A and B are shown apart, each in its own frame.
Chain A
Amino acid sequence: QSVLTQPPSVSAAPGQKVTISCSGRSSNIGSNYVSWYQQVPGTAPKLLIYDNNKRPSGLPDRFSGSKSGTSATLGITGLQTGDEADYYCGTWDSSLSAWVFGGGTKLTVL
């Protein structure tokens, strides 16, 4: 069982918007930056969002991140079939002295 909680799956139609939640505790999300990763099956994870809401250079602004208290959210607008992937949140847990990830959310673009 993962320290961070994500919904197992979300789905939406092309062009629509979807949000993926990530719930934690005061020792992880509540006190540290959150990052988000996209993983297309069979490939390595790719950093999407860091420091809660920053995008790496070159990433389209269709991807956004936010954090409030002990929860974080990834938003994707203008969904494309190429966005189908698994998405993971991650941060540091100060109590565990461990990096932690969510269990992952599978995005299906219908």
Chain B
Amino acid sequence: EVQLVESGGGLVEPGGSLRLSCVASGFTFSSYEMNWVRQAPGKGLEWVSYTSSSGSTIYYADSVKGRFTISRDNAKNSLYLQMNSLRAEDTAVYYCARATGGSYRNDYWGQGTLVTVSS
């Protein structure tokens, strides 16, 4: 069974940093592309960042470019999102999702982890 489990969310002050983790199981993690997608309270889905299976190709949404860094450790079946210079508008539930390029689908999603940026 495919499972994605996020952790690392919490309350942080504006300008602060946070590192999210996503541990994958039930599939060959190193063979799959991954996305981070967030959802602000009461709002829709917003794509945040993408990494290829090897980590050699990475993309970011303009809203987080220069502040967030996506990475992965295929030996640990783990995906990360380092978030710096956090703003109130970054408050959201952050989901990791298994992606399939070419098809451009996210076929499995984690349960999400809530990040709240507030003083």
Contact = CB atoms under 8 A, between A and B. Distances in A.
A36 to B, nearest CB: 9
A63 interface: no
B47 interface: yes
A103 B45 CA distance: 7
Given A44-B111, A45-B95, A97-B59, A35 B105 contact: yes
Interface residues of B, number: 26
Q: Counting chain B CB atoms within 10 Å of each CB, which of A33, A44, A56, A102 scores highest?
A: A44
B50 A99 contact: yes
Contacts of A47: 105-108
18 contacts: A33-B103, A35-B106, A37-B106, A44-B95, A44-B109, A44-B111, A45-B95, A45-B106, A47-B106, A47-B108, A50-B105, A50-B107, A51-B105, A98-B59, A98-B61, A99-B50, A101-B44, A101-B47
